[in-house]
Amino acid sequence: MGSMSAMNEVLFVTGNSHKVKEANRVLSLFGITVKMVECEKVEIQSESLTRIAKYAASLAAKRLGKPVIVEDSGLFVKALEGFPGPFSSYVYKTIGCGGVLQLMSGITDRRAVFKCAVAFCSPGLPPLAFEGKAYGSISSSIRGSGGFGFDPIFIPRSGDGRTFAEMPPEDKDRLSHRGAAFRAFGEWYAKSGRALNL
């Protein structure tokens, strides 16, 4: 039995423990656990989250000699021409939710989309990507203490008016871009990915 559980453990190259928690909540439904591993993550400059994640996953799989997943996500605000997009983590670290709200002051079109790309790569094989999106809008104030990143200013369209940060984790997982991408990965891995891990 012990080897069975080890077989379904996938290395997740990230420095963000919140993302690992989220991934494990979703992937536990597929009998998969992810283990956080630090490995220098090379992020190419690109408008495409999928391209960024696939490139990073290929390099990490080569360096670690094991199958890995890499996740990249971003908040794309329509009125800001898609900003911060692939630069979301940098923008969050520098100006935060308050800074984005300031950029949005006086703007009535508050539509935004959260996108996520999860890339899986086994050494020597091309990376595969799984994508998720959550459409919604930017709130007028910072709301809620759950989640992380831009969650306190994002109201998903398919929700009930709460920001991601105002929701319990299971509600956010059901509606979020990351939940969708990890579910897509989990479904694929449960069907065919496991074989690559033997």
Pairing label, strands 9-13, 33-37: parallel
Q: Supply the pTM of this predicted model.
A: 0.91
Task: Give the CA angle between residues 111, 49, 124 to the nearest 5°.
Answer: 160
Question: Where do the domains of the chain lie?
Answer: 2-197
Q: Convert the pLDDT of each residue in 84-135 to its tens digit.
A: 999 999 999 999 999 999 999 999 999 999 999 999 999 999 999 999 999 9
- Give the pLDDT confidence score for residue 4 in this predicted structure: 43
The CATH number corresponding to 2-197 among 3.40.1550.20, 3.10.310.40, 3.90.950.10, 3.60.10.10 equals 3.90.950.10
Higher pLDDT, 5 or 186: 186
- Give the pLDDT confidence score for residue 195 in this predicted structure: 62
Q: Which residues of 145-181 are buried (b: 16+ CB within 10 A; e: fewer)?
A: ebbebbbbbbbbeebeebbbbbbebebbbebbbbbbb
Mean pLDDT across 28-56: 87
Residues 6+ apart with CB under 8 A from 185: 27, 69, 118, 120, 130, 193
Residue located via tokens 């899986």: 120
DSSP at 41: P
Instruction: Compute the distance between CA of residue 58 and CA of residue 42 in angstroms, rounded to an integer.
Output: 10
Instruction: Compute the distance between CA of residue 19 and CA of residue 39 in angstroms, rounded to an integer.
Output: 16
pLDDT of 41 higher than 80: no
| Catalytic center residues | 72
Contact indicator for 24, 33 with CB cutoff of 8 Å = yes
Q: Convert the pLDDT of each residue in 145-179 to its tens digit.
A: 999 999 999 999 999 999 999 999 999 999 999 99
